[in-house]
Amino acid sequence: MKKREAFFVGWSSDMAGADRRFVLGAGAGLIAGGAGLGAALGGLQNAPGDGAWDQGAVRPWTGLLLAHPYPMLRTRNLDGALRTAFLATSGKTAVRLPAELIGQDVTVTASLVERGDHAMLAVDGPHPIAPLAQPLVAPLAFGPEQDLGPVASIGEILDAKCWFGAMRPGFGKTHKACAALCARGGLPLAFCADGCNGAEAPLFLDENGGPHPRAILPYVADPVFVSGRRAQVGDVTQFRASLASIRRL
C-alpha cells in the first residue's frame, strides 16, 4: 500500500501534513493581509506634518522679550528676517517671564520647535532668560496691527507647541489628552483648518486679542466650527473669536 498521508496520533507532537500546510498558508495570508490593510489605512490618515524639535540643539537666541498675548521673542536669529518665536518650557507649561525684562532686549537659552514659518523656543536651564549687555540696534517691536476681516472655519483648536513640531501628529483624537494638558498649562493655542493639512495655524485668541480662559478646554482638539475675525500683528496671524462663537461638530 502506498503511503498517502502521515497518520495523526493524538498524543504525538507532530501535526498532520495537511493541517501543517493549511496553518502555514493561512498564517502567511494573514500576515500579508494585515500588512496590506495597515498600509491602506495608513495612506488614508492625515500626514503628521514636517514640524521638528531637536531637544539637544540648545543655543542662545537674542531679541525683544514680550509678554502679550503670550510670552514671545522677536528675533532675527531664525533666518535673518524679523520673526516671532513663542516661548514655552520643555514640558507642558508656560514660561514665567522675569517682570523686569519684559520689553527689554534679552538672551534666551532654548531649543527650537519649528514648522514652516511657525516657531517656538523651549527654554532650558535654571536661568534661561538674561538681559543683553548691549541693546540690539535694529528695531524689533511690532508695528500697527491690521484687521483682515471676518472669518468662519471648521478645524481644531490646538496647543501651538505640539502642532509646531513637539509631537507628531500634534492634532486629532490621538493628541487630544496631550493638547488639553498643554492648553491647561497656559501654552499658546493655534487653530488649524481643513484636517490640519495646511501650513498655517494662526494664533487662537479671544475676541479682544487675549488668551482664552480655561473654559476653552472642552473644545480643544475636537472638530469645531468657529466664526470670528483675523488680524495680522507683525508676522503673526491671529484668529480672534469668542467662546460663544465656537460650536462642536
**Are the beta carbons of 160 and 188 closer than 8 angstroms?**
yes
Kindly report each contact of residues 236-239 with a partner whose C-beta sits within 8 Å and lies 24 or more positions away, as own/partner: 236/84, 236/202, 236/203, 237/148, 237/200, 237/202, 237/203, 238/202, 238/203, 238/204, 238/205, 238/209, 239/151, 239/153, 239/191, 239/202, 239/203, 239/204, 239/205
Q: At which of 104, 131, 158 does a domain end? A: 131
Domain match, 174 and 126 both: no
Answer whether residue 131 shows pLDDT above 70: yes
Mean pLDDT value across residues 204-233: 95
Name the domain boundary from 131, 157, 184: 131
The fraction of the chain above a pLDDT of 70, given in percent, is 80
CATH number assigned to the domain comprising residue 101:
2.40.50
Question: Is the pLDDT score of 225 beyond 90?
Answer: yes
Residues 120 and 155 in one domain: no
- Please provide the size of the chain in residues: 249
Average pLDDT over residues 95-122: 95
What would the grid cell of residue 184 be?
491647561
Is 193 part of a structural domain of the chain?
A: yes
What's the pLDDT band for 3 if we cut at 50, 70, 90?
Answer: low
> With 90 as the cut, is the pLDDT of residue 112 above it?
yes
The confidence band for 43, taking pLDDT boundaries of 50, 70 and 90, is very low
Q: Does one domain contain both 115 and 167?
A: no
What are 140-189's pLDDT values in tens digits? 989 899 999 999 999 999 998 888 887 666 666 777 888 888 889 999 99
Q: How many Cα atoms within 13 Å fall on the side-chain side of residue 17?
A: 5
- Contact of 77 with 103, CB cutoff 8 Å: no
pLDDT value at residue 5: 56
- Radius of gyration of the chain, Cα coordinates, nearest whole angstrom: 26
Cell of 43: 495612506
- Same domain? For 77 and 111 the reply is yes
Among residues 71, 105, 131, which one ends one of the domains?
Answer: 131
Predicted TM-score of the model (pTM): 0.78
Number of domains in the chain: 2
Note whether 111 and 64 are same-domain residues: yes
Say if CB 171 and CB 201 are below 8 A apart: no
- Which residues, other chains included, contact 130 with Cβ-Cβ below 8 Å and sequence gap of 6+? 106, 107, 109
Residue 80 lies in a domain: yes
Residues 127, 153: one domain?
A: no
Q: Looking at 24-33, 105-114, 188-197, which range is the least confident one?
A: 24-33
Cell 462642536 sits at which residue? 248
Residue 77 lies in a domain: yes
Parent domain of 157:
146-248
